[in-house]
Every structure is written in C-alpha cells, then in structure tokens.
C-alpha cells in the first residue's frame, strides 16, 4: 500500500500552466475521462464524478488484457485539493488538511494511513517553463521528485515523471474526453 498509493497519486496529480495549479473541476463534467499510460505498460483511465457535500471524485480504473477494474478512488474538496485516496481492498490515505500537489511554494500536510500510522510531509512546488517541479520530503527521509508538463486547460498533465528511491516512472496522457 505505502509503495503503491504514491504512484497512484502521480497519475492523479495535475497542474495547469499560467493558472493556479490543479484540476478545473468546475469545467469538468461528470463522466469526463482521461486515459494515461506509463513507461512500464500500466494503463489507467481516470473518470470524473461528483460526490456528496461538494466533493469531487476521480475514480481510476486499470485497463489490462481488455479488462477494466477499479484501481483507486480519489476525493478532492470543493477547492480541488486532494483529501483522500482509497483502494478497493479498503486501504486508504487521508491528507490533512489536504494534499499539496496544487499549491505553489512550500506546503505541509499529514498522511494518515488506514492502519492509523501517520507521516508528515513537506512539499515545494515551483513553476517552470512548460509546467511544474515538485519536491516532497517524506517523514522517513525519502525525497520524491516530480515534474509535470501540461497543455490541458482542464488541469491535466501531458506528461508527469516521478523519481524516488533511484527509480523513475513516466506517465503520458494518451487521450481525454471531456463531457
């Protein structure tokens, strides 16, 4: 779980150049979707919906061998900030007060794992020529580096790269369908 959900967040995190970073939930109708693929062959479809109390939901499905299965579900508050990530097996992460992927400058948050374990993180996000550079310092000393390049007015990255523990994974937007 702890090694998988941060990777999921990479596929879910987004920014938009020349605007406050993050999804444009007001401009994304329920049923809209974005298909991304990783350099390791993982293909994920992100489907947008609305939840109760103004929450925005992104459900991620893995597509493999012609089959589609739920991979994770992300909840965002009204401001578009990530507050929870959950897998179908019940494991989850809560972000308190919220995740910082769409906050320019330095931001801190606490991860609360479904087993009750807690971890504090500090993240710095800087605007770059074609997107953003994010550096996250985890409580265990892990440094996570992410870059996003975007051309999508809805806030979805064209490409995103995640480097941690000497390993790099790159996701590329394959197609998008906005309702």
Length in residues, the chain: 179
Going by C-alpha positions, the residue among 142, 1, 12 that lies closest to residue 83 is 12
Q: Where are the domains of the chain?
A: 5-167
Calpha distance 17→152 (Å, rounded)? 9
Contact 146, 154 (CB under 8 A): no
- The confidence score (pLDDT) of residue 94 equals 97
Give me the helices (H) in the chain, please.
Answer: 5-12
Q: Coil, strand, or helix at residue 11?
A: helix
Mean pLDDT of 65-79: 92
Average pLDDT of the chain, as a whole number:
84
Per-residue pLDDT of 2-27, as tens digits, reads 444 444 444 444 433 345 667 778 88
Mean pLDDT of 62-72: 94
Look at residue 106 and tell me whether its pLDDT is greater than 70. yes
β-pairing, 131-137 vs 118-128, is antiparallel
Mean pLDDT of 114-124: 95
């Amino acid at each position: 779980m702890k090694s998988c959900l941060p990777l999921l967040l990479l596929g879910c995190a987004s920014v938009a150049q020349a605007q406050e970073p993050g999804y444009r939930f007001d401009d994304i109708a329920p049923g809209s979707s974005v298909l991304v693929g990783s350099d390791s062959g993982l293909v994920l479809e992100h489907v947008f919906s609305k939840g109760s109390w103004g929450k925005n939901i992104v459900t991620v499905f893995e597509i493999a061998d012609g089959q589609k299965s739920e991979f994770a579900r992300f909840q965002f508050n009204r401001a578009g900030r990530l507050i929870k990530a959950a897998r179908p097996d019940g494991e989850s992460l809560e972000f308190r007060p919220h995740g910082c992927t769409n906050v320019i400058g330095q931001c801190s948050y606490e991860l609360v794992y479904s087993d009750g374990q807690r971890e504090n993180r500090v993240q710095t996000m800087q605007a770059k020529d074609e997107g953003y550079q994010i550096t996250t310092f985890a409580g265990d000393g892990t440094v996570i580096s992410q870059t996003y390049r975007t051309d999508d007015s809805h806030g979805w990255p064209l490409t995103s790269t995640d480097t941690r523990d000497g390993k790099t994974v790159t996701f590329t937007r394959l197609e998008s369908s906005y309702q």
